[in-house]
Chains A and B, each alone.
Chain A
Amino acid sequence: MKRDTMLVRMGALLLALFVAAPLYWMLITSFKTPFTVGQTPPQWFPHPFTWMNYRTSFTYFDFQHYLMNSVIVAVASTLVVLVLASSAGYALARFPVRGRIGIMMALLVVSVFPEIAVISPLYLLMRLLGWLNSYQGLIVPYTAFNLPFAIWILRNYFLSIPREMEEVAEIDGAHPLRTFVSIIIPQATPGLFTAAVFTFTATWTEFLMALTINSSTPYRTIPVGIALFGAQYTVPYGDLFAASMVSIAPIAILVLIFRNAVVSGLTQGAVKG
């Protein structure tokens, strides 16, 4: 298929432009001054180039609080999901559980259910528990909604680990828990990465629950902070995009480093699911 090459290259170039152009625009706007942000015709490259927006978003808009809240909620949810999902996934892969496929499918479907369908009872529940505007008010639902997919990914990994590994450990007299922690878990590291990247991304980007459950300023996460950013009449795009770039950075780095894990995770969710 040599004659396809030119066409394929053109297509790839178009695709890259389509995806990258809006991101480029956001990136360079974060380096523009308040005056050049609103300039017509727009500057294709920021001149003068300034880091001022990055300073303002932290000093004037308290972006560091949102950043810290997001980190706490996302990291805690991811850790809890990994611990619960690795034990549940192992159980599903190794021990006969009645109706396990039915349970898994039901949970997987529910975990991609539109949030609006669950938000009002969840809000009332958090109100009843006194968990509105608290970290656990988001960590608990985030954990629950991300567990099914993580269990699914890890189960598939555990299934691919030969049973002989455990048998040898058992013969050597290792306790089942020790076998799990020091033999099985290290083998499932790629699966753990995939599950971690997915859970972290989902919790980092979640908006509706964060908006309703943690609406007061000290507990706002990044999406809520950014949605309610700034003044009433004019949007301070420079500051807003500076804050956005800072919040994109960790996840972009994570995704770029673990891109193979992400792609294989997407594949497993779709093809084996």
Chain B
Amino acid sequence: MAPALIVVSAVTLFPIVYSIYMSFNHIHLTLHGFRFHWAGLSNYRLLWASGLYRYAIGFTVVYAAITVLAELILGTLAALILQRLRWGRSSLLALLLLPWSLITVISAEMWSYIYNGVYGVLDAILLTLHIIHTPVVWLGFPQLAIASTMFADIWKTMPFVAILVLAGLEMIPVEVIEASHMDGATAWQIFWRVQLPLIRSTMSLAALFRILQAFGLFDLPFVLTGGGPGTATESIAVLGYQVMFQDLSFGPGAAVAASTTALVLIMAMVFLWVFRGMAEEGMA
């Protein structure tokens, strides 16, 4: 037990704290190591003065909010379908596991081929259906690129949410649903008044987990759009990577990383607070 804990803390907890310490220093890489000089808040001042940083924070928060909400709604819908489905249920479940297990870099390349403005299949389908009349360069305009990135994200993660919600739904005793049915409740009432309140804790945990992941958004925009066009899809993590590993500015980079930590902690606390409110409401 003890040795495992030490390894885990050394590699997980320690870097988070150390990253915050780094963000208050100027860092110079030497041949084999590195040197620190105390810098106070200057890294943060530098970042705050840059529009790029403020945009990245805003983009990441909005992106996380929209994708997680969409995934929860669509995932719940999918779970309700799966719950009622008898024929082909286990094959569909297996199919849903594929996007979850797919390397994100591969799914990003897959979508970049689908979205291609010259030979992309999305344009071909929409042209055939007469929904558009000229090919659209999906990744060429800021708002379209953001929406396309979100869609690719939802494709990969919605099935995961669906399986989580389905697991929550399956844990509700059949008698509860049958009883509400006998009392004359409609399907919609059963979902809204009986099932949803009972799977609230499952959904909250799924949401929290997804929000934490979404704040770290990196693989998809890094490969699909490279943060572009311009800097339209540049998330905090993509910016942090560029500052640290392309400009080799580890001080400001650590400040970018530390702001992710701050965002995640704030989010987790807000979430726990809201969730606590929900739990009390449920008991009343």
Interface residues, chain A, with chain B CB atoms under 8 Å away: 1, 4-5, 8-9, 11-12, 15-16, 18-20, 22-23, 25-26, 29, 37-42, 84-85, 87-88, 91-92, 97, 103, 106-107, 109-125, 127-128, 130, 140-141, 143-145, 147-148, 151, 201, 204-205, 207-208, 212, 222-224, 226-227, 229, 235, 237, 240-241, 244, 247-248, 251-252, 254-256, 259, 262-263, 266-267, 270-271, 273
CA distance in complex: A25, B98 (Å)? 14
Given A40-B124, A223-B219, answer yes or no on A141-B11 (Cβ-Cβ < 8 Å).
yes
**CB nearest neighbor in B for A23:** B98
Number of A-B contacts (CB under 8 A): 273
Nearest to A215 among chain B residues (CB) is: B245
Give a binary string over B209-237; 1 marks a CB under 8 Å from any A CB, 0 the rest: 10011011011001100000000000011
How far is B222's CA from A208's CA once the two chains are assembled, in angstroms?
Answer: 10
With the chains together, A252 CA to B103 CA distance in Å? 11
CA distance A147 to B112 in the complex (A): 34
Chain B nearest Cβ from A269, distance in angstroms: 8
- Would A25 and B264 be within 8 Å (CB), given that A88-B1, A107-B12, A110-B13 are in contact? no
Question: CB-defined interface of B181-209 with A at 8 Å, one 1/0 digit per residue?
Answer: 10000010000000000000110011001
A124 CB to nearest B CB, Å: 6
Is B39's beta carbon under 8 Å from chain A? Answer: no
Seed contacts A114-B218, A266-B164; 12 additional CB < 8 Å A-B pairs:
A1-B187, A5-B84, A11-B77, A19-B96, A88-B1, A114-B237, A114-B264, A116-B241, A128-B33, A241-B113, A244-B109, A244-B110
Q: Bound complex: CA of A18 vs CA of B9, how far in Å? A: 41
Among the 9-residue stretches B46-54, B86-94, B275-283, the one with 4 or more Cβ atoms under 8 Å from chain A is B86-94
Q: CB within 8 A of B213: which of A114, A141, A204?
A: A114
- CB-CB < 8 A to B159: which residues of A? 19
Please classify how large the interface on chain B is, using the bins under 10, 10 to 19, 20 to 34, 35 or more. Answer: 35 or more
Chain B residues numbered 100-156 whose CB sits less than 8 Å from any CB in chain A: 100-107, 109-114, 118-119, 121, 124, 127-128, 155
A121 touches B18 (CB 8 A): yes
CA distance A210 to B32 in the complex (A): 20
Complex A-B, nearest 5 residue pairs according to Cβ-Cβ distance, in ascending order: A114-B216, A144-B11, A267-B167, A121-B15, A118-B15
Are B155 and A18 touching (Cβ within 8 A)? yes
Give B188 Cβ to nearest chain A Cβ, in Å. Answer: 12
> B14, B205, B253: which contacts A273 (Cβ < 8 A)?
B205
CB distance from A248 to the nearest CB of B (A): 7
**Which residues of B are found within 8 Å of A237, using beta-carbon distances?**
109, 113
A124 to B28, CA, bound (A): 11
Q: Is the CB of A271 within 8 A of B16?
A: no
In-complex Cβ contact of A42 among B16, B32, B124 (8 A):
B124
For this complex, 22 residue pairs linking A to B, each with C-beta atoms less than 8 Å apart, are A4-B187, A8-B85, A11-B77, A22-B110, A25-B114, A29-B113, A38-B118, A40-B124, A42-B121, A92-B1, A110-B12, A113-B264, A114-B213, A117-B258, A117-B261, A123-B244, A145-B11, A205-B103, A226-B103, A226-B109, A263-B163, A266-B163
